Structure 1
């Protein structure tokens, strides 16, 4: 089930939240409440994920049972994390998890939904058990942790300890109606980012990257920028909805997205974009490799390895290797130079330069091949200047906006067909670079008539537009 669907917004979410709140209120005994609410979360999450198909569900359940068996083996050892047998059991568990992931990524088989995310969550869990960092690990809590529907599809990759701590708070929380209104506003803003903004930019992106040979110079440049915008609104929209759902439960979901295009360099970018993935690679790959403890040269090699793994995790083609190495090389340069802008102009220039570099890397991330990515850059230089192809601009002409333009003098302008494209572009730039992000805004805004009307308007617009929406981009990894 997708967040951006009728079934989720109008049926699943209201039933799940209502049932959760009623159970929480009806049960007073803490152990009974914990068990009942975990069962409710597990059941709801199985329905949520199961609607993607029995094949996906069967692979997920098999993965869960396998890792539960590994954990049971570790739990039966004394001095967990030190004994030789524990290391063997841990190695078997990790190798099997990684092999399963690699088989699906490299064999050409259809990739199970969210396999990368729940596999990483399970690796995190068994490693933390091995290290002795997790004491209480009831099976129903473990199931709830892995299956928890707000995070299973695209993260965040929340540690088991953090999840349990927030879960306990949510089990004892009371309904706060102001918090509910903030959650609904965040939910509406997240859906708006995905349904209205990301998917609209995606139409132009799909045209641009599918018709490289005929792109004009401006179309090629905008195709690259629009993909940056599409990814931003797609991923941040998902994070906003996931956070909003958790707020309705009284659960504090870890921040996974924090205005990454406001970053001054590539290392700052990875402290803001998919934050928990960065934390995962740091804890389970970078630090075990030696981190920054074995000299500058070894540190730089470790950084390159981490970003190479990140590229391969995202996809199997050479384009993802290039993308990962571009981020790795720039991270090494940034770490070596250690230069931070000290003036407002310097800060703005650094943000712009970093955004342009990230966008250039995204071209490889999106292109079907390295040749295709180079072709996009080539069209930026040699594509010539001419009006947009109608197909490129047409996706921005949403009926509800286009009808307004048709009845105004704007329709008489020679570039009337392109007005919506430029409106969306300007709106995206303002939101991304000059406004607080949605989570920041909803935490600080004053709840009242205006925010209520804004919530209702955005939800109404999004629900009306659900018929033409696409899946979230990160579900493909």
Structure 2
């Protein structure tokens, strides 16, 4: 059951909202218990065979958290917990023929919670609060990866567990914008993406570029749409999820791109993998009286150990996050190369390119990477890139009304990507106060039309692309 499906829109969500409103009258405990039950029902309806795995994972990690706080060596318990979580993730994600939906997201959230409490200076969460943090249905299947330092205090609060008009209005706005991204902007592109990537050897230059650009837009609107819907659902219940996108296709470097795309995953890996690795290298070099400044980073040995090594391992983990296949591995290695060139340019203090040129070059790198991300085999990816390079011939372009419509649609989508405010700016006025949502007849009409359009387009929508991760 996806957020854009009719059963969710007309049955599950109204039931959960009404039940929450009734449960809230009995207090915080009843409201939380209702949301936990709703979350288990949501996952049970989507992947009933893996519901016991979710319950076991949440229960096991809660026991580990409390064992960690009672132990004189909490770091050892944290290491054990991370190892067990990764083992379960590896088995069900890479070895099981039917991988569990959303396993990576709720596993990484719980690993982050173990590491957050490893220092022992933070009180362990209560059972009800932890269960809600780990299994809350808006983020269960495709994130964002929840940060325990930001979210656990929200789940642990004693007041605010009731429906309010403002929360419902703003949350609905986030949700509807995400629904439109998914059903109106992303899903129609599958008619171009599917046939193009099904037989890339038959494509010439223009169809290959059309398929590749359509996929990059489909992935963007599909995943950012899911994130908006998750943020909106949480907002309805008075909870604030972190952003996961900040107009990544407007990035002026690949480093900046990864700071804007899937921000919760980037932050998780930077905090728990890249930063500890970098600090370990710096401490080792300092103990052995090796320089660690910018001049040392510009040298071959310094660049390799202080910059290249941590980035390589982090990007390999990102590859494995998406799947243990050769195209995903090459996707990670390709972005590793992009990042290293980017860092080397900065270390060597290369002259800055004009902003538009930097954005265009960055997007070209991302577009090439997206071909590897979408292709089912390395050969298919190579064939698509060869077609984009003109190695399959230029081909004849037959300009007709359908081609004109397709080009106009792609141009409109790029205009939204590059020019439109973010959903948060629309709904909260952040940095764009004159465009902010407000209670008014005009906004009521706009959201009403959006609701109608989103529901009409929702009937035959497909699964969110990131559900398989």
Same fold (TM over 0.5): yes
Secondary structure of the residue aligned to 2:459 is: helix
d(CA) in 2 for partners of 1:326, 1:4: 33
C-alpha spacing 1:53/1:321, structure 2 compared with 1 (3 Å): closer
Please report how far the alpha carbon of residue 195 of structure 1 lies from its aligned counterpart in structure 2 after TM superposition.
1.0
Indicate which of 453, 464, 467 corresponds to 2:456.
Answer: 464
Indicate which of 343, 346, 357 corresponds to 2:354.
Answer: 346
| Map of 1:41 onto structure 2 | 35
C-alpha spacing 1:340/1:7, structure 2 compared with 1 (3 Å): farther
| Map of 2:107 onto structure 1 | 119
Cα-Cα RMSD: 2.2
| Map of 1:258 onto structure 2 | 246
| Map of 1:394 onto structure 2 | none
Secondary structure of the residue aligned to 2:144 is: coil
Secondary structure of the residue aligned to 2:150 is: helix
Q: Is the 8 A contact 2:20 2:34 kept in 1?
A: yes
Q: Is the 8 A contact 1:49 1:57 kept in 2?
A: yes
Greater mean alpha carbon deviation, residues 87-96 or residues 97-106: 87-96
Please report how far the alpha carbon of residue 358 of structure 1 lies from its aligned counterpart in structure 2 after TM superposition.
0.5
| Map of 1:2 onto structure 2 | 2
d(CA) in 2 for partners of 1:337, 1:209: 34
| Map of 1:75 onto structure 2 | 69
Indicate which of 67, 90, 96 corresponds to 1:102.
Answer: 90
- Scaled by the length of structure 1, the TM-score of the pair is 0.86
C-alpha spacing 1:100/1:173, structure 2 compared with 1 (3 Å): closer
| Map of 1:184 onto structure 2 | 172
How many matched pairs?
Answer: 438
C-alpha spacing 1:455/1:170, structure 2 compared with 1 (3 Å): farther
| Map of 2:324 onto structure 1 | 316
C-alpha spacing 1:321/1:10, structure 2 compared with 1 (3 Å): same
d(CA) in 1 for partners of 2:158, 2:66: 27
Give the alignment of 1:239-318 within 5 angstroms: 239-291=227-279, 293=282, 295=292, 296=297, 297=303, 298-300=305-307, 301-318=309-326
Secondary structure of the residue aligned to 1:122 is: helix
Indicate which of 422, 428, 433 corresponds to 1:437.
Answer: 422
C-alpha spacing 1:170/1:470, structure 2 compared with 1 (3 Å): farther
Give the alignment of 1:363-374 within 5 angstroms: 363-374=371-382
- Scaled by the length of structure 2, the TM-score of the pair is 0.88
Please report how far the alpha carbon of residue 65 of structure 1 lies from its aligned counterpart in structure 2 after TM superposition.
2.3
Please report how far the alpha carbon of residue 266 of structure 1 lies from its aligned counterpart in structure 2 after TM superposition.
0.9
Q: Is the 8 A contact 1:45 1:148 kept in 2?
A: yes
Please report how far the alpha carbon of residue 169 of structure 1 lies from its aligned counterpart in structure 2 after TM superposition.
6.1
| Map of 2:407 onto structure 1 | 422
Please report how far the alpha carbon of residue 260 of structure 1 lies from its aligned counterpart in structure 2 after TM superposition.
0.7
d(CA) in 1 for partners of 2:236, 2:418: 29
Secondary structure of the residue aligned to 2:458 is: helix
Please report how far the alpha carbon of residue 53 of structure 1 lies from its aligned counterpart in structure 2 after TM superposition.
2.9
